[in-house]
């Protein structure tokens, strides 16, 4: 499904209710995309995010602290992910999230994250 992503430096970590997202996130502070999977729905993404986007003037705007910052300090459902993800996991009966990240923009690769 996402074969194009195989060319990028990547990694993954899991997140469970009760864990501190900042402590377990191993995503780098560089730019790229991340895909969130629910453990019970393997290979079916429930969310796709990026740490940068193209501006109208063709410049790239990067979020602070790259992938790490976007995952750990970003908001979803109108609150920080470290609070909203556990809340939604409880509501949807999800035991664990798998977060896969891919570096698409660094000193060697200049693909636009969005």
- CB proximity list for 12: less than 8 A, separation 6 or greater: 98, 99, 100, 101
Mean pLDDT: which of 51-55, 61-65, 72-76 is highest? Answer: 72-76
Confidence band (pLDDT; 50, 70, 90) for 19? very high
| Cβ-contact 22, 15 below 8 angstroms | no
Q: Supply the pTM of this predicted model.
A: 0.84
């Amino acid at each position: 499904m996402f074969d194009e992503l195989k060319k990028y430096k990547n990694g993954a970590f899991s997140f469970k209710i009760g864990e501190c997202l900042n402590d377990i996130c191993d995503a780098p502070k560089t730019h790229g995309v991340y895909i969130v999977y629910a453990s019970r729905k393997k290979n079916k993404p429930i969310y796709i995010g990026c740490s940068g986007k193209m501006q109208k003037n063709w410049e790239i705007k990067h979020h602070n602290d790259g992938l790490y910052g976007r995952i750990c300090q970003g908001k979803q459902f109108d609150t920080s992910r470290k609070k909203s993800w556990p809340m939604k996991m409880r509501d949807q009966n999800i035991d664990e999230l798998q977060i896969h990240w891919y570096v698409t923009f660094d000193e060697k690769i200049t693909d636009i994250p969005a």
